[in-house]
C-alpha cells in the first residue's frame, strides 16, 4: 500500500495498527520478552500467552504471531481453535498429547516429547494434555498477526462445581485420546459431550 508522510504528526495505519516512521524504527521494535516467563494458570492447569502485532510492533505486516503455553502435570489446554491461523507448536520441555479434530470429525493425535513439532491446520479445534511427569512448555507460531481464539466450552467462574467440571473434561479427553478412534468413527457426540456435558 503506497503511502507517504505529509506531516511529522500524521499517523499511518497498516492492518489497523499504527506504524512508526521508518526513520524512527530501531532494533528494539523487533525484540520482545513477552514469552520469557509463564503466565498465571487457569482452572485447567495451563497458562497460554499469545503475542500479536498489537504487543510486538515488529510483527506488523509480517503475518505472524507467537505464543507460549505451560501446562502442569495432568493439566490441559482445553479445546479451542484459531479461526484465522494455522498453528505450529514446538515442545520445549515435557511430554504431552496434542490432538485436533478435522472437519470430518477425525481425531489426529500424537504424543510429543521435547524437540518435537506438531501442526494444527487453520480453524480446527484442538487441545494439549500434559502426560508427563513435569511441567510441559511449548511455543507456537501462527501464520497470522491476529490468529484469534475461539472456544466452545467455558466454565462459570467461581462456581463450586468448577473443579468437578474440569476433572470431568480431563477424564473425557483422556479416554477419548486413549481409545483407538479412526476416521470412520463419528466423534461429534463425544466432542459435544466434552463441550456441553461438563
- Residue 7 in any domain: the answer is no
State the average pLDDT for the chain. Answer: 79
Question: Quick one: 56 exposed, middle or buried, by C-beta within 10 A (0-12, 13-18, 19+)?
Answer: buried
What pLDDT, on a 0 to 100 scale, did the predictor assign at position 104?
82
What pLDDT, on a 0 to 100 scale, did the predictor assign at position 184?
37
- Residue 6 in any domain: the answer is no
- Residue 96 in any domain: the answer is yes
Q: Tell me the pLDDT band of 178, cut-offs 50, 70 and 90.
A: low
Instruction: Classify each residue of 3-16 as buried b or exposed e, where b means 16 or more C-beta atoms within 10 Å of its C-beta.
Output: eeeeeeeeeeeeee
- Residue 181 in any domain: the answer is yes
- Residue 123 in any domain: the answer is yes
Nearest to residue 111, comparing CAs of 135, 123, 94? 94
* Count: domains in the chain: 1
Of the given ranges (51-60, 62-71, 148-157), which has the lowest mean pLDDT? 148-157
What pLDDT, on a 0 to 100 scale, did the predictor assign at position 54?
84
Instruction: Specify the higher pLDDT residue, 164 or 136.
Output: 136
Work out the average pLDDT over 84-113: 92
φ/ψ bin of 129: left (φ > 0), alpha (ψ from -120 to 50), beta (otherwise): beta
Query: CATH number for the domain including 48?
Result: 2.60.120.10
Q: How far is CA 56 from CA 70, 141, 158, in A?
A: 21, 14, 33
Q: Is the pLDDT of residue 39 over 80?
A: yes
Give the domain range for residue 68.
12-196
- Residue 144 in any domain: the answer is yes
- Residue 1 in any domain: the answer is no
Q: Is the pLDDT of residue 163 over 80?
A: no
What's the length of the chain? 198
What pLDDT, on a 0 to 100 scale, did the predictor assign at position 20?
66
Element (H, E) at 171: helix 162-178
What pLDDT, on a 0 to 100 scale, did the predictor assign at position 124?
94
What pLDDT, on a 0 to 100 scale, did the predictor assign at position 82?
96
pLDDT > 70 fraction of the chain, expressed in percent and rounded:
66
Q: Tell me the pLDDT band of 5, cut-offs 50, 70 and 90.
A: very low
This prediction has a pTM of: 0.76
Amino acid at each position: 500500500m503506497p503511502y507517504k508522510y505529509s506531516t511529522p504528526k500524521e499517523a499511518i495505519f497498516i492492518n489497523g495498527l499504527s506504524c512508526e516512521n521508518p526513520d524512527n524504527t530501531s532494533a528494539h521494535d523487533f525484540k520482545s520478552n513477552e514469552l520469557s516467563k509463564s503466565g498465571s494458570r487457569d482452572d485447567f492447569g495451563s497458562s497460554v500467552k499469545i503475542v500479536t502485532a498489537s504487543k510486538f510492533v515488529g510483527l506488523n505486516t509480517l503475518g505472524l504471531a507467537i505464543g507460549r503455553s505451560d501446562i502442569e502435570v495432568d493439566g490441559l489446554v482445553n479445546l479451542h481453535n484459531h479461526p484465522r491461523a494455522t498453528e505450529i507448536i514446538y515442545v520445549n520441555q515435557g511430554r504431552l498429547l496434542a490432538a485436533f479434530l478435522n472437519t470430518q470429525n477425525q481425531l489426529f493425535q500424537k504424543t510429543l516429547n521435547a524437540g518435537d513439532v506438531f501442526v494444527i491446520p487453520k480453524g480446527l479445534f484442538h487441545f494439549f494434555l500434559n502426560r508427563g511427569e513435569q511441567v510441559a512448555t511449548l511455543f507456537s507460531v501462527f501464520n497470522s498477526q491476529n490468529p484469534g481464539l475461539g472456544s466452545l466450552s467455558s466454565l462459570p467462574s467461581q462456581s463450586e462445581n468448577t473443579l468437578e467440571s474440569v476433572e470431568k473434561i480431563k477424564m473425557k479427553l483422556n479416554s477419548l485420546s486413549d481409545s483407538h478412534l479412526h476416521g470412520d468413527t463419528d466423534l461429534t457426540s463425544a466432542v459435544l459431550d466434552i463441550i456441553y456435558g461438563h
